[in-house]
């Protein structure tokens, strides 16, 4: 390398160094754009929607009537439903209000039904869900809605599959 080329290269390096230094000094005195998660949280917009959850009636029963529309419309095939007549679970879990409000038929095994079709199993794979909201839009019973909780993390793929209980709790 001749002397002229060496000089040009030193000038170029010094120039780039000063540009970098300028950026560092400027950023050092400006307000940070990052924050200390999870101590500090993002303020999310009111209209922000994340994962779906299941809605219940005033007496705690599921609004879902297992019509399969959401399962059919879901573009990522994240929803798996099995229909059945079991709604309220085991006898000891029934509240007095539920017993009073519904004429329940005993199905055997200590389980009850209110005579309407409900999902005996309702699962959403949150690892597949793309939060598109089609399930909420298509549901005729307002039984499924998208919530604002986006902070979900799992140690295995199975943990990402939410059943009825988790889908109600995640409201």
Residue 12 or residue 165: which is nearer to ligand SF4 going by CB?
165
What's the min distance (Å) between Cβ of 120 and ligand SF4? 12
Q: Cβ closer to ligand SF4: 74 or 111?
A: 74
Q: Which among 130, 135, 122 is positioned nearest to 168, based on CA atoms?
A: 122
163 and 122 Cβ atoms separated by less than 8 Å: yes
Least gap, CB of 58 to ligand SF4 (angstroms): 17
The footprint of ligand SF4 (CB under 6 A) covers 52, 64-70, 74-76, 78-79, 81, 124, 129-135, 138-139, 141, 143-144
Q: How far is the CB of 82 from ligand SF4 (least distance, A)?
A: 11
CB of 141 to ligand SF4, least distance (A): 4
Which two three-digit tokens encode residue 153?
A: 């993390």
* Strand ordering across the sheet containing 79-84: 79-84, 118-125, 161-162
Q: What is the spatial distance between Cα 104 and Cα 161, in angstroms, rounded to a whole number?
A: 30
Q: Which is nearer to ligand SF4, 67 or 104 (CB)?
A: 67
Start-end of H helices in 108-163 = 134-138
């Amino acid at each position: 390398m001749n002397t002229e080329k060496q000089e040009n290269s030193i000038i170029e390096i010094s120039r780039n160094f000063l540009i970098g230094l300028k950026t560092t000094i400027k950023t050092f005195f400006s307000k940070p754009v990052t924050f200390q998660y999870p101590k500090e949280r993002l303020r999310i917009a009111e209209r922000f929607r994340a994962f779906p959850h299941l809605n219940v009636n005033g007496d705690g029963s599921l609004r879902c009537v297992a019509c399969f529309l959401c399962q059919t419309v879901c573009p990522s095939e994240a929803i798996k439903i099995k229909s059945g007549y079991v709604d309220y679970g085991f006898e000891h879990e029934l509240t007095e209000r539920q017993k009073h409000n519904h004429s329940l038929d005993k199905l055997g095994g200590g389980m009850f039904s209110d005579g309407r079709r409900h999902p005996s199993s309702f699962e959403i794979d949150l690892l597949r869900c793309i939060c598109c909201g089609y399930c909420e839009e298509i549901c005729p019973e307002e039984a499924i809605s998208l919530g604002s909780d986006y902070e979900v993390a799992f140690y295995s793929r199975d943990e990402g599959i939410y059943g009825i209980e988790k889908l109600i709790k995640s409201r």
